[in-house]
Amino acid sequence: MPVSVVIITGVSGSGMSSALKAFEDLHYFAIDNLPVQLIPIFVRLCDESTEIERTAFVVDVRSREFLSLFPRIHHELKEKGAVTVLFLEADDEVLLRRYSETRRPHPLPDQDVRHALRQERELLSDIRQLADHVIDTSEHTVHTLRDVIKDRFAERGSAHELNVTVSSFGFRHGSPRGLDMLFDVRFLPNPHFVPELRPLTGRDAAVIEYLQNESEVEETITRFAELLGYLLPRFQREGKSYLTIGMGCTGGRHRSVMVAESLNSRLNQLGYNSRVVHRDIDREEQRYKSEA
């Protein structure tokens, strides 16, 4: 049986090394910066090995012949067996900040990082079109990116298992990227205007109790759960493996957090592999402290 191959590529600074470590945690045989000419030889050797069943490697613009040779090699690998291309990218401002923090030079020979990033995107545009998965890492930390990789590439018991992420957020900080659905709960009573609840979050018992005492909160959660109970089996039937649901309020601290937690719990009770992420709790905590 041919070895399963994941090729990680993308824009420099977008997290390819972190992604490779996540694959290593999933027991992939992992290699960083494999010269593109060696890809066919490496895959053939893996096929001949009795110990390597899955491999992941990073190939990017550090390999100077990558751009010209990769499309042909990718086509050859597709014809021979299972190969998946994972392309990582991020916003220029995020990449510039990362380069500033790490003080590492961009691999393209240009003194101006912004210009180098623009040039790199142009050079990679055709390769991006070959990707099976594109992940924007602008809003990911090293840890959350690894979680996404593990969720997408871990072996599953069912080929069409649906993995659901419920993400709370605050509209004042912008909507999360990559949402499949978005629910706006700014119409619900706001604990922010209750002085003793303002410093708390939607995970605290006092805030949960306050919101649960409002009948429209419970009705809203029930209606959301009923809608998803209807929709999710249909997404699953079509072979969708990942679904991200955004739950937004003004700041992402109280209402969206509480509703996301409740909805996640109900989805788990329905038998779905669901997890909850709170994007803006820490950001709102910093904001609250600065205003206090």
pLDDT digits (tens, 9 = 90+) for 260-280: 999 999 999 988 889 999 999
What are the residues facing 162 on neighbouring strands?
none
Residue 164 β-bridge partners: 243, 274
* pLDDT tier for residue 157 given thresholds of 50, 70 and 90: very low
Going by C-alpha positions, the residue among 93, 98, 92 that lies closest to residue 142 is 98
Residues 216-261 have pLDDT tens digits of 999 999 999 999 999 999 888 777 878 999 999 999 999 999 999 9
The answer to whether 15 and 86 are in contact (CB under 8 A) is: no
Element housing 184 (H / E): strand 181-184
State the angle between helix axes of 66-80 and 39-48 in degrees (0 to 180), rounded to the nearest 10. 30
Average pLDDT over residues 81-86: 86
* pLDDT of the residue at 111: 67
Whether 158 has a pLDDT exceeding 50, the answer reads no
**In b/e form, how buried is each residue of 83-95, taking b as 16+ CB within 10 angstroms?**
bbbbbbbbbeebb
> Which position has the token pair 């993400």?
167
Q: Give the pair of three-digit tokens for residue 15.
A: 């997290």
- Predicted confidence at residue 107, as pLDDT, reads 81
CA-to-CA distance for 55 and 28, rounded, in angstroms? 5
- What number of other Cβ atoms are within 10 A of residue 138's Cβ? 15
User: How much is the average pLDDT of 82-109?
Assistant: 86
Vertex 174: Cα angle to 171 and 177 (nearest 5)? 120
Which DSSP helix (H) or strand (E) runs through 57? Answer: strand 54-58
The pTM for the full model equals: 0.65
Q: Would you say 8 and 20 are in contact if contact means Cβ atoms under 8 Å apart?
A: yes
Segment 105-113 mean pLDDT: 78
Which DSSP letter does residue 51 get? Answer: S
pLDDT-based confidence at residue 99 (cuts at 50, 70, 90)? confident
Torsion angles phi and psi, residue 6, rounded to 5: -115, 120
The pLDDT value recorded for residue 160 is 53
Q: How far apart are CA 251 and CA 281, in angstroms?
A: 8
State the pLDDT at residue 33: 85
Quick one: average pLDDT of 174-181? 89
DSSP label at 198?
A: T
**Residues 6+ positions from 259 with CB-CB distance below 8 Å:** 168, 183, 185, 188, 202, 217, 220, 221, 224, 247
C-alpha 46/C-alpha 80 separation (Å) is 13
- Please report, as a single letter, which amino acid is at residue 262: S
The pLDDT value recorded for residue 269 is 92
pLDDT-derived band at 1 (thresholds 50, 70, 90) equals low
- Given a contact cutoff of 8 angstroms between Cβ atoms, the answer to whether 218 and 224 are in contact is no
- Order of strands across the sheet that contains 181-184: 181-184, 242-249, 163-170, 273-278
For residues 184 and 102, what is the distance between their CA atoms, to the nearest angstrom? 37
Which domains does the chain show, CATH number per domain? 4-153 (3.40.50.300), 163-291 (no CATH)
pLDDT greater at residue 15 or residue 104: 15
Average pLDDT of the chain is 88
Residue 64, pLDDT above cutoff 80: no
Kindly list the strands in the beta sheet with 29-31, ordered across the sheet, starting from the edge strand earlier in the chain: 29-31, 54-58, 4-10, 83-89, 133-136
pLDDT confidence band for 102 (50 / 70 / 90): confident
Residue type, 233: P
pLDDT of residue 178: 83
Residue length, the chain?
Answer: 292
pLDDT at residue 213 in the model: 94
Phi, psi of 58 (to 5 degrees): -100, 130
Q: What percent of the chain has pLDDT over 90?
A: 50
Q: Which two tokens stand for residue 260?
A: 């996301």
